[in-house]
Amino acid sequence: MQHSNMAETDGAAPAKRAPAIWLFIALDCTSFGVFFLVFMVQRLGQPVLFDQSSQHLDAGLGFLNACILITSSWLVAWANIAGREGRIDHARRLLLAGMAVAACFGVVKIYEYYTKFVAGITVATNEFYTFYFALTGIHFIHYVGGMVILGILAQGPSRYMPEAMAKASYARWLEGSSLFWHMVDLLWIFIFALLYLIGAR
Amino acid sequence: MNPYRYARILAWTGPLLLIGTIIFWGVLGQNIPPYSPALGAEEFAEQIREHAAQIRIGMIVQMPISVMWFTWSVAMWQVMRAIEIENGSNQVLSLIQLFGGAFTTIVFILPCSVWLAVAYRPEVMDPKTLQIMYDFGWMFFDMAYSLTTMQLIAWGVCMLQDRRAKPLTPAWAAWFTMFVVVSFLLLTMMPLVYDGPFSRSGLLNYFYEFGAFFIMWIVVAAYTLKAITRLEQEHWAANAAQ
């Protein structure tokens, strides 16, 4: 594996970066795991209400959003490989392409929220929708955060640091951010299955 | 002069406040868990009248001891300054942390004064007035989370910048702390619901969030104390070498 070559050029701290982002991802996934568990426990108490509410969600749009995020993740993974190999311009183009695809996720999600509000469905409608808005809302914050980080990385390595240090730092951030972006994608697949599919039929 | 004079005493005010908060805010203040927002005003007022004396004692003590959040923040600030000075003396993070700590102290004190007012003369007050005052206390207590989030993210980022071979605070503790304070975002749901896991007394927004917060408090307190011991040792070793 050659992925850590660039990171190792920058002293002691960089070697710790990869485990740190993994730790953050593990904590975040555990946290979502707790939310999913609480959702399932609450669902056991009122399965009919949860099933009926779930049927009002558009599984097609949920699936479309899963496809969008997987495609975006794939482009960001390629950007990561390009960055690791020092092909910075190529990495930047792939990041921009990944962001352009992912922007569709935001459009679809906002459209979905809009249709719910127009239909008079809010966070206070019932417990299923409290979970729907909470889980998709927290996920959306992750999505926005990820887009901002990808946007910053799409600008290329820092122009204010010495070149070798900037490139090493860029490769580290690219790797950490693509891991985070895969998590955003993975979490949506779980949310899609739990909210849109269970009880939809 | 020892630059870490007073630091150990200040660092101990963190764990002391933790114990005090559990006893006075939590147990005596009837906050484990708090009264559910789903309670009717009459039922809520009855509960307050029944426990008014102990809530008053709890809040009377919690208000003055809350200043220890600030003194503890000063201990954290001393550790952060040591790292910042070694890294070129940029003091942005320690400044943010210190202000965050000062503001968080208000987040402790102000709601306690509101709950103290609720328990002051509940027998002659309209139940709905008592309820809205109690709600106000909780809205402020939960929804001012960004002040604490700002404080502890600054702390976490600074700890990650420590260049020691064995850092003063391990990376996991910094990341865990930052994760906990970011997860306060979940509290956004609190003012929108009256029952269930997202309510102020619910499984997620009370037991999960406050459980994580208290564990984080222990982690930060333990590593602040350890860091001060190491910084003092480093200081005396450097002085002895001269």
The answer to whether residue B203 neighbours chain A at the CB level (below 8 Å) is: yes
Q: Do A35 and B196 touch (CB under 8 A)?
A: no
Structural contact between residues A94 and A75, judged by C-beta atoms closer than 8 angstroms: yes
The answer to whether residue A19 neighbours chain B at the CB level (below 8 Å) is: yes
Q: Do A23 and B204 touch (CB under 8 A)?
A: no
Residue A177 sits in which domain range? 14-197
Lowest mean pLDDT among A118-132, A159-173, B114-128: A159-173
Give the mean model confidence (pLDDT) for residues A172-191. 95
Structural contact between residues B216 and B180, judged by C-beta atoms closer than 8 angstroms: yes
Q: Do A123 and B185 touch (CB under 8 A)?
A: no
Compute the C-alpha angle A121/A123/A129, nearest 5°. 75
The answer to whether residue B166 neighbours chain A at the CB level (below 8 Å) is: no
Q: Do A124 and B192 touch (CB under 8 A)?
A: yes
The answer to whether residue B191 neighbours chain A at the CB level (below 8 Å) is: no
Residue from B83, B153, B178, B193 to probe the interface with A (highest A Cβ count within 10 Å): B193
Q: Is residue B32 pLDDT above 90, yes or no? A: yes
A20 vs A25, A29, A141, CA distance in Å? Answer: 9, 14, 21
Chain A, nearest residue to B180 by Cα: A27
Instruction: Sort out which chain B residues have CB atoms less than 8 A from A35's CB and list them.
Output: 204
Is residue A4 included in any domain, yes or no?
no
Q: Tell me: the pLDDT tens digits for B35-68?
A: 999 999 999 999 999 999 999 999 999 999 999 9
pLDDT class of A3 with cuts at 50, 70, 90: very low
Lowest mean pLDDT among A90-94, B20-24, B71-75, B185-189: B185-189
CA distance A30 to A113: 26
Check residue B240 and give its pLDDT: 82
State the average pLDDT for chain A. Answer: 88
pLDDT class of B241 with cuts at 50, 70, 90: low
Number of A–B residue contacts, CB under 8 Å: 52
Q: Is residue A26 pLDDT above 50, yes or no? A: yes
Give the mean model confidence (pLDDT) for residues B59-80. 98
Instruction: Sort out which chain A residues have CB atoms less than 8 A from B198's CB and list them.
Output: 130, 134
CA distance B22 to B55: 13
Q: Do A27 and B197 touch (CB under 8 A)?
A: no
B55: closest CA among B38, B34, B41, B36? B34
Give the mean model confidence (pLDDT) for residues B73-100. 96
The answer to whether residue B193 neighbours chain A at the CB level (below 8 Å) is: yes
The answer to whether residue A44 neighbours chain B at the CB level (below 8 Å) is: no
Instruction: Sort out which chain A residues have CB atoms less than 8 A from B183's CB and list them.
Output: 31
Q: Tell me: the pLDDT tens digits for A75-114?
A: 999 999 999 888 999 999 999 999 999 999 999 999 999 9
Lowest mean pLDDT among B64-73, B128-137, B185-194: B185-194
Is residue A6 included in any domain, yes or no?
no
Q: Tell me: the pLDDT tens digits for B148-200?
A: 999 999 999 999 999 999 999 999 999 999 999 989 999 999 999 999 999 99
pTM, full prediction = 0.85
Q: Is residue A174 pLDDT above 80, yes or no? A: yes
CA distance A23 to A164: 27
The answer to whether residue B198 neighbours chain A at the CB level (below 8 Å) is: yes
Check residue B94 and give its pLDDT: 97
pLDDT class of B3 with cuts at 50, 70, 90: confident
Distance from CA of A90 to the nearest CA of B (A): 30
B198: closest CA among B207, B189, B185? B189
For chain A, the domain total comes to 1
Q: Is residue A12 pLDDT above 70, yes or no? A: no
Spatial neighbors of B198 by CB under 8 A, at least 6 apart, are A130, A134, B186, B189, B190, B192, B204, B205
Q: Is residue B236 pLDDT above 80, yes or no? A: yes
Chain B, nearest residue to A36 by Cα: B204
Residue A46 φ/ψ region, left for φ over 0, alpha for ψ in the -120 to 50 degree band, beta for the rest: beta
B129-136, Cβ contacts within 8 angstroms, sequence gap of 24 or more = B130/B41, B130/B44, B130/B45, B130/B48, B131/B41, B131/B44, B131/B45, B134/B35, B134/B44, B134/B48, B135/B37
The answer to whether residue A23 neighbours chain B at the CB level (below 8 Å) is: yes
Q: Do B189 and A35 touch (CB under 8 A)?
A: no
> Where in chain B are the domains?
7-235
Looking at residue A170, which CATH number applies to its domain?
1.20.120.80
Beta strands, E only, chain B? none
Give the mean model confidence (pLDDT) for residues A30-58. 92
Q: Which residue has the higher pLDDT, B218 or A173?
A: B218
Structural contact between residues A168 and A6, judged by C-beta atoms closer than 8 angstroms: yes
